[in-house]
Amino acid sequence: MTHTIFIDGEAGTTGLEIRERLEARSDLELLLLGDRRRDVDARREALNSADAVILCLPDDAAREAVAMVENPSVKVIDASTAYRVAPGWAYGFPEMDAGQRDLIARSQFVSNPGCYPTGFIGLVRPLVKAGLLPANYPVTVNAVSGYSGGGKAMIAEFEAPGAATAYRAYGLSLKHKHVPEMTKHTGLSNDVLFTPAVGNYRQGMLVEVPLHLGALPETPSVERIHGALVEAYEGQQFVEVADLDETEAMTGIEPEALNGTNRLRLHVFGARDGEQARLVALLDNLGKGASGAAVQNLNIMLGLDEATGLI
């Protein structure tokens, strides 16, 4: 059976990545509007005739597109931040909870997670769930992404001849749009302190959560923290936890190491008898952090093998 797919916003960074992942597949047929992609009537028809649509649009445009979907059989995946904490929308991180994959499979509307939140939720949610990290604990997350995460304008800026920016901290108002989903989907009761940055490389990211283990109620060891993550992701294909022996031997971690994949790799650094831990998530901001995750969710929603077209 061939499923028809419409990507609304296929010309954007995420849309192009998704199209590249889908167009070679024989089980899918892409509905392409070409020069008519800004034609409201053409978009409305495609939004209601496809088996599934993926919205790669700014928040307001995504809301307008959702309002045009009148066919209850059309599956919708939204890659913007518009619906990530909205009622009636499933959060598209299949590995984050035992029932999340089934929830995605039976939902008409799925919100694709943000790239930074994917790494942060992957690290923190299991610890809150296991009681190792209190829900009211003041959590800080430091992260750096390749400049492709900023879309076409940032890509053009960093790739312009003579561009000299090496690294830039941003989100200085501490009101980044990812904070609500990072807080809600980890089970935390207080907003996280999020300090994002962008580096002068195209894609790949590191998301870090430093923890003073001695400040936690039970002073959990690095091994207990690591064990909670291993238990949470046992048997998952796209989320893995690095072995402690491996992390102890590492002298650095490369943000581009998983580029081109849909994988999320979690590390727990720190002395086994110490009272500090440095949790680090590694992922491709355009892979598991965006287009790869969208394809994984699409596969689940269509009842296909969720790894189809992904590595």
Active site residues: 115
Q: Could you tell me if 237 and 292 are in contact, meaning their C-beta atoms sit under 8 angstroms apart? A: no
Give the DSSP letter of residue 34.
G
Strands (E), 112-226: 140-146, 167-169, 193-199, 205-212
Torsion angle in degrees (nearest 10) through CA of 178, 181, 182, 184: 150
Angle between helices 151-159 and 13-22 (to 10 degrees): 100
Going by their DSSP bridges, the two strands 167-169 and 239-241 should be labelled as: unpaired
Place of tokens 């009537």: 41
| 45-81 CB burial, b ≥16 within 10 A, e <16 | bbbeebbbbbbbbeeeebbbbbeebeeeebbbbbbbb
Q: Which helix (H) or strand (E) holds 55?
A: strand 52-55
3-class SS of residue 67? helix
Question: Residue 233: what residue type?
Answer: Y
The token pair at 105 is: 């499979």
